Amino acid sequence: MRTLIIDENSGNPFPARVTLVDRMSTGFSPASTDGYYHNDELIKATTKKLAEIVGLRSGQRTIDVGYGSNLSVAEAMQELGMEAYGLDSQDGLDHQKYQNALFVPPHFNAMANGVRKYCGTVEDLLSVGSQLRNQKFDLFTFWGSWESGGYNFAIGGEWGEARIREERPEIAEALNNSRSLNDNSHELLYNAMQANRDKIITDASSLLNPKGGIIIVSSRYAGHGAGFTTEQLPWEKRIMLRLGQTFFDKGAKEVYFIGVSNNNVQKQLGENPEFADVATALRDDAVLFGLEREVYEAKCPDKMLRAIKDMQVPLGRIDVVYGRF
C-alpha cells in the first residue's frame, strides 16, 4: 500500500487559497465556492488535469456518479477520448415505472454529447435489474455527490437518510420518536449510512478493471449544491481521511490525497483570528478527531483512527481522494 500526497506545489489543480466563509454570515453552506458554481469550463479543465494525475488513457471507460444537472465531468472525459458514462438517480427517471426513486436499478437513459447517461441509484449498481452490473470501468468519479456541507441529496446527506428509513423501518420509527440528536436512534442512523457508503465503495471497486480507481471530489467544486464553510473544513478533512483509509481497507494499492499543504492553510487561517480553532484542528489529528461529530457522521472505529493518524497526511485541506485498486 502506498500513499501519495499532491499539494499546491506538486500539481493540485484546485485553488490554493482558503475561502473564508462562515455559517453565521451566510445562514447556510455556500453553493460551490472557489469559482466552480455553474462554471462548466472550469470543471472540465480541472477534470482533465485530474485525469492526467491519475494516469487515465484514451479509450478507457469512466463513469461519473450523481452528476445531477452537471454533465461536465463526463463530457470532459469524453473529450479526452474516454468511453464516458454518467449515472444519476433523477435524470430521465420514469416515475410511472419506478414508484420509489430511492431504489432504481441503473438502466440506459440517453446519449448526450457523447456521454452514455444511465438512470438509477448507485446502491443498486449490482442488483439483478442493473444494466451496469456486468460492465467494467477504469474510473468511478463522485464529483460533489458523496458528501456535502449541509443536509441535501448527496449520498451522505438526506438522500442517504431517506434510503435507510425505507430499508430499516425500525430505525425510522426510532427517529420519529426521538427527542434529541444525541440519542441512540441517530447513532443507529449514522452507522447505517456509513455502512451504505462502505457498500458503495465495495460495489464500485468490484466493477473496476485492473489498476482502475475511484475518485471522490469535495462538493466545494460541484456545479451547484452545498459546499463547506471554513469552519466545516475539519469535518471535511475527517471525511476525506476516513475515505482514504477505507480505500486501503477495501483493497486499494495506492491512495492519493490531493489538497493544500498544512503550512499554506495555517498561514491563511492565521491571518484571521476568528478561525484559530479551525486552524488548530487542521494541523493536529488528535484535535481533529476529538471534535464533536457533524451531520450524519458515524464514529470512526479505533483501529481505523490509529491507521489514519499513522498516515500523517501533511495537508491542511483535502480536495480529492483517489484510490487505485
The per-residue b/e assignment along 61-86, b for 16 or more CB within 10 angstroms, e otherwise, is bbbbbbbbebbbbbbbbbebebbbbb
Tens digit of pLDDT at every position of the chain (325 positions): 899 999 999 999 999 999 887 665 555 556 666 889 889 999 999 999 999 999 999 999 999 999 988 899 999 999 999 999 999 999 989 988 998 999 999 999 999 999 999 999 999 999 999 999 999 999 999 999 999 887 777 999 999 999 999 999 999 999 999 988 778 999 999 999 999 999 999 999 999 999 999 999 999 999 887 778 889 999 999 999 999 999 999 999 999 999 999 999 999 999 888 999 999 999 999 999 999 998 899 999 999 999 999 999 999 999 999 999 9
* Contact call for residues 167 and 254 (beta carbons, < 8 A): no
- Nearest partner of 225 among 307, 173, 154, 131, judged by Cα: 154
Q: Are 27 and 268 in contact (CB under 8 A)?
A: no
Strand, helix or coil at 55?
A: coil
Question: Are the beta carbons of 16 and 262 closer than 8 angstroms?
Answer: no
Q: What is the DSSP letter of 292?
A: P
Domain 2-324 is of which CATH architecture? 3-Layer(aba) Sandwich (3.40)
Q: What is the pLDDT of residue 62?
A: 98
Report pLDDT for 264. 97
- pLDDT score recorded for residue 33: 66
- Distance CA(96)–CA(94), nearest Å, equals 5
CB contact set of 107 (below 8 Å; sequence gap of 6+): 118, 119, 120, 129, 130, 131
CA atoms within 13 A on the CB side of 282: 29
- Report whether 85 contacts 115 (CB < 8 A): yes
Find cell 441503473 and name the residue. Answer: 106
> In whole angstroms, what is the distance from residue 232 CA to residue 23 CA?
9
- Please answer whether residues 244 and 313 qualify as being in contact, where contact means their C-beta atoms are separated by less than 8 angstroms: yes
Closest by alpha carbon to 171, among 197, 151, 189, 195? 189
H/E stretch holding 323? strand 315-324
Domain residue limits, the chain: 2-324
Q: Which of 321, 231, 222, 213 is nearest to 269 (CA)?
A: 231
